[in-house]
Amino acid sequence: MKHKLKTVILGFVATVGLTMGCSVHANDPFPVRPIRIVVPFAPGGSNDVVMRLLAPALSQQLGQSVVIENKPGGGATIGMNLVAKAAPDGYTLGVTNTAFGANPFVMSKMPFDSRRDFASITLVGKVPLVVVVHPKFPVRSIQELITYAKDKPQSINYGSAGNASTPHLAGELFGHVTGTKMTHIPFKSGGESIAALLGGVTQLQFAAVPSAVQQVQTGRLIPLAVTTIKRDPSLPDVPTLAEAGLSGLEIADWIGIVAPAGTPAAVLQQLNQAFVQVLKTPQIRESLSKAGAQVVASSPQELTEHTHQEFDRWQALVKAASIKIE
């Protein structure tokens, strides 16, 4: 009898202790240590540029250091796999973009489930692309580019930040829509691909505006068109593809912030509020605009809806253009 009573008492104590432990854990303040944001690309690309502009203000808003970690490779899947497998506590976040929306349909094998393994925080903004060429390349308009590409198939080398990156996908779609064939040259980062273009290794790139705007403004690269419906404020004199005579091809990169699935709703909400607060400040909006990024600052639900729309869009486009990456 005494043994049974002792067992019951110990069980009760253990249960109370577990409950109290969970209660304390649930009410722990957040954040209490540095937060890392994984950028699944090498330094120098648009995602990296934007996140490094935001990091100091986010650190001040959250009261903890915000560290940017670049984990490139695998068409952005290496870095995002790290996020998917991280503890769902809000201290490891990841950056999603166009490649995230397209990867499930262009990759033969994925290390995570793009739809189920992440929790949305906010759609930071959208990043237009600009079609740029080396000054020595004898093309000064989209129509001249199409004619040149048709006359000399595969002779144009265009660079990107790697397989399945937004510039790569834009080039594939451009070829599909115009009936042209160019040669894709993948690099390890947007910065490397721009350096290759500046050095004449490649002739053309569908570059994210933040990684190319300075070279365009100084005349080191020649812009042909931006790939969005409206002109970009940071490049007001550059026509859109539609204005340049090519309709039906609008594409912009986008930047979303996610956490591992299972992250507490209260933590996600706090992170969302911090990002939105920072993105609404005039100084940050001005800095991002000058860098070529258009601020959105959405709710978590809006990012989820946007991402699902991207999945649907890229599934159809990848099938139509027969884009496949092994």
What is the biggest distance separating any 2 CA atoms in the chain, rounded to whole angstroms?
A: 95
Distance CA(271)–CA(86), nearest Å, equals 17
> Would you say residue 19 lies in a domain?
no
Q: What's the confidence (pLDDT) of residue 21?
A: 38
Are 72 and 41 spatial neighbours (Cβ–Cβ below 8 Å)?
A: yes
Helix 209-217, helix 190-198: angle, nearest 10: 30
Pairing relation of β-strands 118-133 and 222-226?
A: antiparallel
283 and 204, same domain (yes or no): no
Here the CATH number for the domain that contains residue 147 is 3.40.190.10
If one counts the domains in the chain, the total is 2
**114 and 132, same structural domain?**
no
Q: Are residues 119 and 143 in the same domain?
A: no
Same-domain check for residues 132 and 122: no
pLDDT tens string, the chain, 326 residues long: the values are: 444 444 443 444 344 343 333 333 456 789 999 999 999 988 877 888 899 999 999 999 999 999 999 999 888 899 999 999 999 999 999 999 998 999 999 888 899 999 999 999 999 999 889 999 999 999 999 999 999 999 999 999 999 988 878 898 899 889 988 999 999 999 888 888 999 999 999 999 999 888 888 999 999 999 999 998 888 888 999 999 999 989 878 888 899 999 999 999 999 999 999 999 999 999 999 998 887 788 999 999 999 999 999 999 889 888 887 777 76
**What is the reported pLDDT for 114?**
97
- Residue 55 is assigned to a structural domain of this protein: yes
Structural domain of residue 167, as residue ranges? Answer: 128-226
Q: Are residues 211 and 283 in the same domain?
A: no
Residue 81 in any domain: the answer is yes
Residue 97 located in a structural domain: yes
User: What pLDDT was estimated at residue 12?
Assistant: 40
Angle between helices 166-178 and 300-321 (to 10 degrees): 40
68 Cβ partners below 8 Å, 6+ apart?
A: 36, 37, 39, 48, 51, 52, 55
Of 86, 100, 92, 113, residue with least CA distance to 164:
100
Q: What CATH number has the domain bearing residue 261?
A: 3.40.190.150
CB 99 within 8 A of CB 166: yes
Residue 295 three-state SS = strand
| Residue 18 buriedness (CB in 10 A; 0-12 / 13-18 / 19+) | exposed
Together in a domain, 90 and 143: no
- State the pLDDT at residue 18: 38
147 and 181 inside one domain? yes
Same domain, yes or no, for 103 and 155? no
* Side chain identity, residue 312: D
Please identify, among 208, 226, 244, the residue that sits at the C-terminal boundary of a domain.
226
Closest CA to 116 of 261, 11, 270, 309: 261
Regarding whether 154 and 174 lie in a shared domain, the answer is yes
Alpha carbon separation from 76 to 19, 21, 34, 108 (Å, rounded): 40, 38, 23, 14
134 and 219 part of one domain: yes
3-state SS class at 70: strand
